[in-house]
Amino acid sequence: MKKKLIVIFLCTLTAQAFAEVKEADNQEIMSLMQSGVPIIDIRRASEWQDTGVIKQSNLITFFDKKGNYNLKDWLPKLKKIAKEGEPVIIICRSGRRSGIVSKFLDEQANYSNVYNATGGILSWISSKNKTVQPN
């Protein structure tokens, strides 16, 4: 029994160590959202107003206009929406900021099922997918 527990522990540890951010295109984003995976839009409020947002997006700004961020404020908001082992999609304007945040979640915040929205909201819009005005 003890050997089984050690093997299970090592397998779990290995899986977490080799978890990596997955790139998600628009089709995959739609599929994931239909499966109930939350999407977190990390842009600023002015950006949400400019382009609209994907319906069902959770709006939690990560970087301010100067590029600063506050993990003590942001991370608890995220954890109310998606716990560490649950899948989550991160989106920004072009995929650059969401890539940074996705990598942070994967490597430092114990999130093992993170999807970065490739191309961000710009790709979503250029593919003629709908956006809505934020509430």
**5 within some domain:** no
Residue 6, pLDDT > 50, answer no
Q: Look up the domain containing 31 and give its range.
A: 20-126
Specify if 1 maps to a domain.
no
Q: Is residue 9 in some structural domain?
A: no
Q: State the chain's mean pLDDT as an integer.
A: 90
User: CA nearest 39: which of 103, 94, 82?
Assistant: 82
Q: Mean pLDDT, to the nearest integer, of 39-61?
A: 98
The reply to whether 24 falls in a domain is yes
Cβ pair 93, 65 in contact under 8 A: no
Residue 11 lies in a domain: no
Q: Which two tokens stand for residue 71?
A: 């993990």
Q: What percent of the chain has a predicted confidence (pLDDT) above 90?
A: 84
Average pLDDT for 97-110: 96
Q: What percent of the chain has pLDDT over 70?
A: 86
Residue 15: the pLDDT is 43
Name residues whose C-beta falls within 8 Å of residue 90's C-beta, 6 or more positions apart in sequence.
39, 40, 42, 98, 101, 102, 105, 114, 115, 116, 117
What average pLDDT does range 2-25 have in this prediction?
A: 59
Instruction: For residue 2, name the pLDDT band (cuts at 50, 70, 90).
Output: low
Task: Look at residue 15 and tell me if it is in a domain.
Answer: no
Total count of domains within the chain: 1
Please report whether residue 26 resides in a domain: yes
Say how far residue 40 (Cα) sits from the centre of its chain: 5
Q: Residue 44 is part of a domain; what is its CATH number? A: 3.40.250.10
